[in-house]
Amino acid sequence: MYDKLDPLSRKILELTQQGIEFTHSPFKKIAEETDLSEQEIVDRLKEMQRQGIIRRFGASIGHRTIGITANAMCIWNVPDEQVEDAGKIMSGFNEVTHCYERPRYPDWPYNLFTMVHSYSKKECEEIAGKIADATGIYDYRLLFSEHEFKKTGVRL
């Protein structure tokens, strides 16, 4: 599919795949390198998405670089009939970046998973306690990240 890209669209993808600047004009530098306006860059990205060339264009913030070093996967044993409601409440917390249901196993009773990010393990524990209070679900554990692996998207 990428071999059918026109040269300008290919250049836009190459320039954006390493990330864009975190500024009020994130496409300014790319616009300057392509002799397009910032809006034309955005329009081309939207068109590539519409055509199925790219699935999405989104932001991913390196949370460790801004001081958020404590990351905990909170695993919850939620009664099946309460998963939908509990998930809505849990995902409403600003500190929760992921919330999803997974199957139970004979030796694994946990079925709802939330990822919590904060500045310390203690804060993650406090957030989990607030979530437990908000949902009434107190059967949970926190699994803390020890290492962050480099995240990269698809490259041309």
- What is the reported pLDDT for 1? 55
106-126 as b/e: b if 16+ CB within 10 A: eeeebbbbbbbbbeeeebbbe
Q: How confident is the model at residue 18, as a pLDDT?
A: 79
Q: Give the model's pLDDT for residue 138.
A: 98
Entry pTM? 0.62
The arrangement of strands across the sheet holding 96-101 comes to: 96-101, 112-118, 70-76, 140-144
- Residue 89 is predicted with a pLDDT of 97
Element (H, E) at 68: none
Banded pLDDT at 123 (limits 50, 70, 90): very high
